[in-house]
Amino acid sequence: MNIILKEDFDKILQSDINFSCFQNSSFFITGSTGLIGSLLIKFLLYCSEVHSLNIKIYALIRNEKKAEMIFCDEINNENLIFVKGDLLKANLTFDFSVDYVIHTAAITASKEMVTHPIETIQTSLIGAKTILDYSVKCRAKSVIYLSSMEVYGQVKCNQKVKENQLGFIDLSDVRSSYPESKRMCECMCLAYAHEKNLNVKSVRLAQTFGAGIFKEENRVFAQFARSALKHENIVLHTAGNSEGNYVYTADAIAAILLILLKGSPGEAYNVSNEKSHMKIKDMAHLVANVLGNDDCQVVYDIPEDNLKYGFAPDTQLFLDSSNTMKLGWKPYFDLEESYLRLASWMKSNKMI
């Protein structure tokens, strides 16, 4: 195992989570070849080995070759079972039962949200309903729906924002296919919690990055890191005035598992490192200084038509993670350390 990833996993094992609860348990994880899904699977298998927990994982995939590449170190583990299926097929069924379900599958690329808004909505709604129905049928002990901080839309607030303080989403903007469908899925989770007595919780993740990202990752954080490590200018395609909320990958995994065990049915939880809150342009300068050794500059190239990139509108959002922290969660990695560990991961995996 990569040394950076092992250090991250060992840090999670030190967190306030009673991992013995997972003894002889089974998991169903969707979005298994995505960043969060893959790290959850890798960590749970590692945790199972360290603590002899005998955890079995059913991993939903669409592309077998991609799955075999991502899980090359775990491919021969008899407790990892790949399940091939497409969540857009509403009649999709599964012939196994599990104790825990974590639904992470979603379209996450901004450009896809504006070029394929119908598929974005369908992936969210059909996928969520399929997984919620399955969870009811197999009487899962606990379920996590992976949501997003984008459900907040544009919030006009001069203080940290709690889970019940949603803002405005412009339905005339085609990119709203993503945040609006995420809102509906959270509403669906609440409905299943009340009507079907399903122990399902929504997790609103901040921008999540760190060790574990894939070589093809091209979101803003990866673009910034890649440019700085190459000693190239960091190019901003917006004014960079949006307030960014961030959390390191290992901290996010710890939060998800803690909420899985201790969260309240039907509730939503913010997961963000409040100490890492800053504007996009300030983060760009931080990365240039920390990773680029001041050999790169922050420059602006703002297109007239945002559809070229599909960036979200500027937001002044500062997530309040106190409800998650009350469960016992404490993020370990600030933004500078997150980027240093991301850089080590990228270098060790020849991503630059």
Q: What is the pLDDT of residues 162-191, one digit of tens each?
A: 999 999 999 999 999 999 999 999 999 999
Judge whether residue 237 has pLDDT over 80: yes
What is the dihedral sign for C-alpha 52, 31, 170, 243? Answer: positive
Across the chain, mean pLDDT equals 94
Judge whether residue 350 has pLDDT over 60: yes
Pair 154, 173: CB distance under 8 Å: no
**pLDDT band of 256, cuts 50, 70, 90:** very high
Average pLDDT over residues 227-245: 91
Instruction: Give tens-digit pLDDT for 267-284.
Output: 999 999 999 999 999 999
Provide the β-strand partners of residue 146.
203
Judge whether residue 307 has pLDDT over 60: no
Round to whole Å and give the CA distance between 63 and 68: 9
Q: What percent of the chain has pLDDT over 90?
A: 85
Round to whole Å and give the CA distance between 192 and 121: 19
Q: Which pLDDT score is estimated for 310?
A: 58
**pLDDT band of 312, cuts 50, 70, 90:** low
Q: Which pLDDT score is estimated for 111?
A: 86
Q: Which residue has the higher pLDDT, 185 or 305?
A: 185
**DSSP helix/strand/coil, 99:** coil
Judge whether residue 253 has pLDDT over 90: yes
Pair 94, 130: CB distance under 8 Å: no
Judge whether residue 304 has pLDDT over 80: no
The pairing of strands 268-271 and 207-209 is unpaired
H/E stretch holding 14 reads none
Judge whether residue 150 has pLDDT over 60: yes
**pLDDT band of 35, cuts 50, 70, 90:** very high
Which residue is associated with the tokens 């085609």? 174
Sequence-distant (6+) residues with CB within 8 A of 325 are none
DSSP at 181: H
Pair 215, 69: CB distance under 8 Å: no
CATH class entry, domain 3-211+246-274+316-334: alpha beta
Q: Is 310 left (phi over 0), alpha (psi -120 to 50) or beta?
A: left
**pLDDT band of 80, cuts 50, 70, 90:** very high
Q: Which pLDDT score is estimated for 308?
A: 56
Q: Which residue has the higher pLDDT, 308 or 344?
A: 344
Q: In terms of Cα–Cα distance, which of 102, 126, 118 is closest to 178?
A: 118
Judge whether residue 311 has pLDDT over 90: no
**pLDDT band of 306, cuts 50, 70, 90:** low
Q: Which pLDDT score is estimated for 158?
A: 76
Average pLDDT over residues 59-64: 96
Residue type, 2: N
Judge whether residue 40 has pLDDT over 90: yes
HEC string of 277-345 equals: CEEHHHHHHHHHHHCCCCCCCEEECCCCCHHHCCCCCCCCCCECCHHHHHCCCCCCCCHHHHHHHHHHH
Judge whether residue 90 has pLDDT over 90: no
Q: Which pLDDT score is estimated for 240?
A: 87
Which residue is associated with the tokens 């609440």? 190
Pair 229, 295: CB distance under 8 Å: no
Q: In terms of Cα–Cα distance, which of 56, 48, 47 is closest to 15?
A: 47
Instruction: Give tens-digit pLDDT for 193-213.
Output: 999 999 999 999 999 999 999
Q: Which residue has the higher pLDDT, 154 or 261?
A: 261
Burial class (CB in 10 A: 0-12, 13-18, 19+), 84: exposed
